[in-house]
Amino acid sequence: MRIDILTVVPELLESPFQHSIIKRAIEKKLVEVHIHNIRDYSLDKHRKTDDYAFSGDAGMVMTIQPIETLINKLKKERNYDTIIYTSPDGQRLDQNKCNNLSTLTNIMILCGHYKGVDQRVRDYLITEEISIGDYVLSGGELAAAIISDSIIRLIPGVLSDETSALFDSFQDNLLAPPVYTRPADYKGMKVPEILLSGNQKAIDNWKLEQSIERTKQLRPDLLK
């Protein structure tokens, strides 16, 4: 998989790809992440990427030219399965969407900033819009990092135990069961007996029961 992220603040995207599971996925060449500075494609003499809104509202709007130039350059280099714009009014990201995105080969993600991008970018250049929740961020960079992280960890080989993503919350519409590690007794707070029994079948049943119970209590909507 290859992910191209288009931003006016590339610095915001440095850390999320330089540590832990995502860093190892990149090192293992399971995914390539390329961050592009939209400013580098501005034809304006001051490399401007935003301008005042025609509607007269306060706040700046990202201009179409540098975005269009960059998107077209990338599209000439390879075929993109999807060109995503991060937006609070987009389709809400969920595990099902992440699963679908994780099967793609080339993904482009455009991050908005300020008041967002000129509507013509959304009408003519992108293929889908994704929101990470009903709240407004100052820029799409954190949303792009979240979308990328949630799909990269689903690529086979990224997680050390290949099956472990299958047991995460929301897969099968169930929340994950509780997890415990050593010590079995910490100041009288004990790990459930069954987990120490060595009976894997009984443990698996317990895990499923716990998942169902948790989902009933915390997210009954998932069971519908």
- Note the residues at the interface with ligand SAH (CB under 6 A): 86-89, 111-113, 115-116, 131-133, 135-137, 139-140, 143
CB of 116 to ligand SAH, least distance (A): 3
> Is the four-CA dihedral 213, 215, 219, 222 of positive or negative sign?
negative
CB of 13 to ligand SAH, least distance (A): 13
Q: Judge contact between 2 and 34, C-beta under 8 A.
A: yes
CB of 113 to ligand SAH, least distance (A): 6
CB of 64 to ligand SAH, least distance (A): 14
How far is residue 116's CA from residue 108's CA, in Å, rounded to a whole number?
Answer: 17
How far is residue 143's CA from residue 126's CA, in Å, rounded to a whole number?
Answer: 16
Q: Select 111 or 175, whichever has its Cβ closest to ligand SAH.
A: 111
Q: Judge contact between 107 and 101, C-beta under 8 A.
A: yes
Q: Judge contact between 117 and 141, C-beta under 8 A.
A: no
Q: Select 10 or 139, whichever has its Cβ closest to ligand SAH.
A: 139
**Paired tokens of 156:** 């086979």
Q: DSSP character for 176? A: P
Q: Select 66 or 116, whichever has its Cβ closest to ligand SAH.
A: 116
Q: Select 115 or 207, whichever has its Cβ closest to ligand SAH.
A: 115
CB of 111 to ligand SAH, least distance (A): 5
CA atoms within 13 A on the CB side of 18: 6
Q: Select 133 or 183, whichever has its Cβ closest to ligand SAH.
A: 133
Q: Which residue of the chain is nearest ligand SAH when measured via CB?
A: 112
